[in-house]
Structure 1
Amino acid sequence: MAASMLKMVLSIATTVLLTLLGGSPAMAAPPRPADPVGIDVSWPQCGKTLPSGLAFAIVGVNNGLANTTNPCLAAQLDWAETTIKKPQATAQPRVALYVNTANPGLAGSWWPTSNVYQGTTVANPYGRCEGKNDQACAYIYGYAKAYDDAVVRGVNDPGGYFWWLDVETGNSWQPDKVANRADLEGMTAYFKSIGAEVGLYSTGYQWGQIAGTVPSSSNLAGLPSWLAGARTLNGAKSNCALAGLTPGSRVTVTQYVSAGLDYDVACK
């Protein structure tokens, strides 16, 4: 008790002295708000308890391959809609989607033989698809996979979502980088045709291996980039300063891994 009284007397004396000298007692800095991070989830998180109170979520539509459906898609979309912060806390939409991409060529379980898909004749900048492993058919394949993602997988109001194209070397690709770009351009063309926004997820290395250098005339040019590869929050923040994946692209999201989950930073 005597020690407490002494501390109180000294505190009062210090305050009086600082006041007389024209100063003021030092105040503790206000606590720094938590970083508004997001998360991306898909089939590997099926049945797992996911965190709440995050700034945004990006939900995977597929089950690891471009022609499959995430079995937990509906449940994960419900989780995202109910647990992600409201109102929108960053420049990213509260809930976005990502899809697996691939260009399997003739090795795929399905490959187009014309420019027609689901009754629609697709305008093809690479010419006429005739069932060959070429750029024209790759474009239609990409268009078809995007159509399936939007129409078949069970996504309500697909035009209202932002769609990220997940471009990784773990999926099937052709040695022809122009054909791989055509595939991604076909996907982009379909999503844009329904009024959706599109972005690209990859690392600089993987993108270079798959798609190479994108010409400014491509519809991939200028799309937002979501970069993977960081192991920490600070590393992800630093990656916001990296170059985008295509000409005119800006890095808007970066990913890092923590406790077995993929978290994301919305770049400013």
Structure 2
Amino acid sequence: MPRTPALLPAIRLAWILAAALILVLAGPASAAPSPGEGNQSLLGNDISWPQCKKELPKGQAFGIVGVNNGLANNTNPCLEEQLEWAETSPGLPTQPAVSLYVNTANPGSAGSWWPVSDEYPIGRHVHNPYGPCEEGDYGTACAYMYGYAKAYDDAYIRGISNPADYVWWLDVETENTWSSDKDANRAVLEGMTDFFHSIGVEGVGLYSTGLQWGRIVGSVSSSSNLYPLPSWLAGSRNAYRAAGACSKAPLTGGGTVVLTQFVARGFDYNHPCKQEP
């Protein structure tokens, strides 16, 4: 039906209002809810060495703090004050007020240190499910010990008081050094998980994207201690997509997606996939 001139202004106005409503609802890709707006009180933040000496997020429901300074063998220089920031979080029924994450890697011969036995620290024998670790071995046995040792260091020499009181997330990303041997990479993470479980931590989880996990670790069998661990999925572009990412496949077949991450206004925000236990 042809539009009469009298109707055109009203039609234009309707289209303008509809477009404005869409923009308000969708928001820019990088925008995050402001404090007190929408579901801001349900979002957490994670911080680490890149936020040293910078303004930190406010009003977070929970905080996740990086223990390392970008590598598996060093310490976040701002760990103490960032833990104090996280401790101001109220927490949620499904998320503790404070959790920790650690960098992971499998540097092999390129590392500044590599195990040559099943002792760590010296004098303390570790049961190794892959057999004895020996000098010159860069396969699963010594990779397991490397992971075990790095987790020990994270718990006891980085400045964490009462390490058993936390959930520990293993940050698995391609920007760190990894072997082309996915079995050995998996063994590193299994060694870390076994150590954290041995001291009775509140929980262990896996952080990555599906793509990076596939390149580094690949599929995980049900016999691995990684199989039932929860997933924290990175890579969402905004809050809306982070909520939708809760329905994605977990990193391991026996796990569930419990957190999803998006970046906005220079901060990492984390969406809990469940608000109630």
TM-score strictly above 0.5: yes
Give the structure 2 partner of residue 21 of structure 1.
Answer: none
**Native 8 Å contact 1:55 1:90 kept in 2:** no
Higher relative contact order (CA 8 A, sep 6+): 2
1:159-174 matches, within 5 Å, as 159-174=164-179
Helix, strand or coil for the counterpart of 2:42? coil
Equivalent of residue 121 in structure 1, options 102, 109, 125: 125
- Whether 2:225 is the aligned partner of 1:219: answer yes
Structure 1 residue 50: Cα displacement: 1.1
Percent identity at matched positions?
62
Please list every run of at least 4 consecutive aligned residues from structure 1 whose deviation after the TM superposition is greater than 6 angstroms.
none
Helix, strand or coil for the counterpart of 2:131? coil
Give the structure 1 partner of residue 205 of structure 2.
Answer: 199
Over residues 191-233 of structure 1, what are the superposed CA-to-partner deviations in whole Å (9 max), with x where a residue is unaligned?
0000011000000000000001001000000100000000100
Helix, strand or coil for the counterpart of 2:263? strand
Corresponding pairs, count? 235
Give the structure 2 partner of residue 141 of structure 1.
Answer: 146
Give the structure 2 partner of residue 97 of structure 1.
Answer: 100
**Native 8 Å contact 1:42 1:63 kept in 2:** yes
Equivalent residue letter for 1:129:
C
**Native 8 Å contact 1:102 1:172 kept in 2:** yes
Q: Distance in 1 between matches of 2:189 and 2:204?
A: 11
- Whether 2:133 is the aligned partner of 1:107: answer no
- Whether 2:160 is the aligned partner of 1:150: answer no
Unaligned runs of 5+ in 2: 1-36
Equivalent residue letter for 2:53:
G
Q: Distance in 1 between matches of 2:39 and 2:192?
A: 39
**Native 8 Å contact 1:52 1:84 kept in 2:** no
Distance 1:230 1:121, change over 3 A: same
Q: Distance in 2 between matches of 1:50 and 1:107?
A: 35
**Native 8 Å contact 1:53 1:84 kept in 2:** yes
**Native 8 Å contact 2:57 2:267 kept in 1:** no
Equivalent of residue 82 in structure 2, options 76, 98, 105: 76
Give the structure 1 partner of residue 48 of structure 2.
Answer: 42
Helix, strand or coil for the counterpart of 1:98? strand
**Native 8 Å contact 1:36 1:90 kept in 2:** no
Report the TM-score, using the length of structure 2 for normalisation: 0.83
Distance 1:69 1:50, change over 3 A: same
Give the structure 1 partner of residue 188 of structure 2.
Answer: 183
Give the structure 1 partner of residue 237 of structure 2.
Answer: 231
Q: Distance in 1 between matches of 2:165 and 2:117?
A: 29
Structure 1 residue 112: Cα displacement: 0.3
Over residues 106-135 of structure 1, what are the superposed CA-to-partner deviations in whole Å (9 max), with x where a residue is unaligned?
111000000011121111110000021111
Helix, strand or coil for the counterpart of 2:129? coil
